[in-house]
Amino acid sequence: MPDIKLTAQQLAFFETFGYLSLPGLLADSIDSITAAFEEIWARQGGGHHGKPHDGKARSCVVPFLDQHERLCALLDDPRIHGLLTSLVGDDFNYMGSDGNYYVGDTGWHSDGWHPRHRHVKIALYLDPLTRDTGCLRVIPGSHVEGDKYATALQKNMGQLGLPGNQIPCMPLETKPGDIAVFNHNTKHAAFGGSQRRRMFTINCCERYPEQDLQVLRDYISGFARFWVDTPYSETMLRTAGPARMRHLEQVLANDDHLPALTKAAREKMAEPSRG
């Protein structure tokens, strides 16, 4: 099936506001996606790094998609592939994913800050969520580098005297099968969630030009805190056809420094990062 691309209106919305909601995009496959999600946790002892999920701290598995052949195949799905090629180009890079049982609130933040290269995150929440029960909230327009609004927001966020759940924003209320996608720069948060809020992400970015490869390598260094020696699993690579490989090759060509960083992280940290 050919890719399902975003429309010009959807692209304009994403450029302007830094996010997009796609209600029901994966509604027909959400039951098998959720079953794969739970299989992964069951295989890993139920929670973070082999421990049961105790509802006190976020449990996190990285890279998540990579743990199940059915989830790896989401990268080939014409709806997800079309969304990603529309936003980050035909030769985009898959930049890993995290699977989570979130606990409670997530404060306002951007996922790093990428001034020159577009990074996007697809978020799939596996339970119905509303504004006050942990749905993703975004601040529209907060992704724009150099924009006066983004700069003021960055500077003033901590001085507004407002609790996080009172900051003006757009709550992306969600049902299983809905998709949210946002620019990593976009400020986002969630409030009022349960002790076992199920969610996983797919991170991707535009292909880096040769002269900026060090920036890509620095991003890959960030995987060390999750104690992974390679950014992609054996399952992800074994089940990849040529079309998927195109989205893996630039990271694979720039990950040789990761094992040493991961070795150092294992020595320093009591457990892999929870996010």
Ligand X SMILES: O=C(O)CCC(=O)C(=O)O
CA dihedral 258, 93, 74, 115 (to 10 degrees): 100
- Measured from the CB atom, the residue of 56 and 238 that comes closer to ligand X is 56
Of residues 139 and 190, the one with the C-beta less far from ligand X: 190
CB-nearer residue toward ligand X: 138 or 265: 138
* Residue 199 near ligand X by CB under 6 A: yes
Q: Are 143 and 154 in contact (CB under 8 A)?
A: no
H or E element that contains 69: helix 69-72
Nearer to ligand X by Cβ, of 89 and 164: the residue is: 164
- Taking the complex as a whole, the smallest distance from the CB of residue 190 to ligand X amounts, in Å, to 3
Q: How far is the CB of 189 from ligand X (least distance, A)?
A: 7
Q: Is residue 188 part of the contact set for ligand X (CB under 6 A)?
A: yes
- Give the shortest CB-201-to-ligand X separation in angstroms: 5
| Among the listed residues 97, 106, 142, 183, the single contact to ligand X using CB under 6 A | 106
Sign for the pseudo-dihedral over CA of 40, 65, 72, 265: negative
3-class state of residue 30 by DSSP: helix
Contact (CB, 8 A) for 183 and 19: yes
Cβ 234 to ligand X, closest distance in Å?
25
> How many other C-beta atoms lie within 10 A of the C-beta of residue 46?
15
For residues 189 and 7, give the distance between their C-alpha atoms in angstroms, rounded to a whole number: 27
Residue from 102, 208, 223, 226 binding ligand X (CB under 6 A): 102
> For binding to ligand X (CB under 6 A), which residues are involved?
102, 106, 111, 121, 123, 136, 188, 190, 199, 201
